[in-house]
Structure 1
């Protein structure tokens, strides 16, 4: 056997279609979901309802598609030049071998960007272990002096002092004044915390303020402040907001209180000491549960993402995008042909007017021919458009999704394999039944042949 016929020495030869398909799967598995902020350009709303545009910044741009199933939930119509925040997954448009973003959420840039920065910082600190429950310091059992970092004129300090006066009037309280809102608030809070650490005169610190908007509370999402809180040698209770407000400071502090009043209750001694211990255990349990839920949710998303990559909807979306592109090309070509024929007709009319003795009759005749030509071209364009619609309808009829829409369903076993025979089942098996609009779990009770 010569070298050209030996499969062990010949390289594997790909087709272009196979290469594009494998690149698409690789990208979609590597980048399941990401957030981007940029400026919209080249926006096109296709007749099918899908949106196509480019997202760019000062140095680069990327093509974006947002199908009508996703954009019908958008709260606004995008426009060129608009700054937006999108959530998307990376894919490849296989017919042209171009990578693109498939968007499932879009909103104008603003508060959304703050939320994105908040989530990115939280994820980074989590990866570094600064939010881990095991690194948090317990509150001291005996508290004689409490430090409070907040605005000396705000409602938070009044609430804290009121609670402490009611529960433990003998406690000493030292106020470390700081701004809690505005551009200089983060630096002011860091300076107050550094001052408290340097003096080392309190048993526990409370840092916080009352509730507010995301922008109002954003000084407590400052990365430098978060790291300073995480490595503070004194136990710190974060008390920012009212019940539902969470900041980065809440996650890195040794304990989080829902309100400044609740923080004062946590650090002050009380006869119901066992209740305080129970609250601490409850918070630890909640953190553990959230961590477990987060891990399980991550596993679920990974499995769900793999399943979505194999969903027939992906192929259908590619075909829908291809149809939109061909329809736009057909419309442009037809319009160009009409304009070219009209130009030729005008040239012939001019030549006839110069040569024919019966100018008026020839001019009327050429005008009649022009109108007939325009009607013929319009009829041809309508026929072509109707053919495309018929082809699209036929494609939809053979789609697996159309079969599900007619009331059929697919059953998968625990290994995510399609069940084709009752011989594959046994009593007690749990199946995933796929419908057109979702899926459900079912258990096999009895098998009948």
Structure 2
């Protein structure tokens, strides 16, 4: 059969990436049946959608896997990094990345992961030998001048370490001892650097570490030769591997464990920073003491100058003048005070005489009589008539104050304020 060729060319026609990937997808999904696979879970990620992504690993290979939400909800095994499992699933190709992956349908717990089992067994054996005993550990120098850092020279860990040491204004020297920190040969590389550092005899402190990662990424720090080399190091050594939750056997073998390389930098510089602060406080205290001494000396000098001026003849004459003026002022003030007292006494006598004067009593009695006269006027009948009232009198001139006192055809006199007026009762009141 003749192969397709490019227009105008003699070679085979080129496929697009999409078409080729689809052929691979069809080939794999058609020819590979679903199977049971044993491995260790790592890089576990649970998405908000409910899908779960992870890698399935063993000592020789790694396989990407995904378990969709429906399958994940049916599982009874709680997935975690380092868990040894047996999974059942089929191969599929994710075309957007051209990556094949295992679509997991079932997960069965296969016990503790191989690497974790090896780690626990080695840890127990080395602990039984006393390799991690506290009495074997050396004291960390408080102010190391030269620090060696065994790590990858291109990793973020060394950058964070140097940045923090610089920010805290550490005055020592940092020497990066480059070594692989992950993969095959990493442990041997770090052992060689550790021996080199001891042979140079220039380091006050050694730090060995790297940034965080999975158990597989940090495995070099769990290998027995490196752990023993760290424990036997003649220079005080700090293990700073991974994140705060990561533990390696080097952490137990080292003289001190730091949660991270950044934490190691802060720990190393802590005493230096404290020393700088104490020096700063001492300088401020010394400056304060010096300033206070100068100020006190200046005050004493000013006082001596003042006393010297007071002892001169001119100052004595001036003091005499001031004393004379002061006595004159006191004399005038005393005379004014005596005069004021006499004036006050005369005023008090005048007031007492005024209180016993007949004129004042006459005035009081006149006011009282006037008040009584006004009350008498207010109570007189004339005063009542002036207010608009009328006084009725009978023929004998007696006041008629009740309606029942009047009789029919009786003649009465109505007295007003401006005169009288005769009146006649037409009928007996009440009829």
Normalised TM-score (structure 1): 0.37
From the CA coordinates, give the structure whose radius of gyration is larger.
Answer: 2
Normalised TM-score (structure 2): 0.39
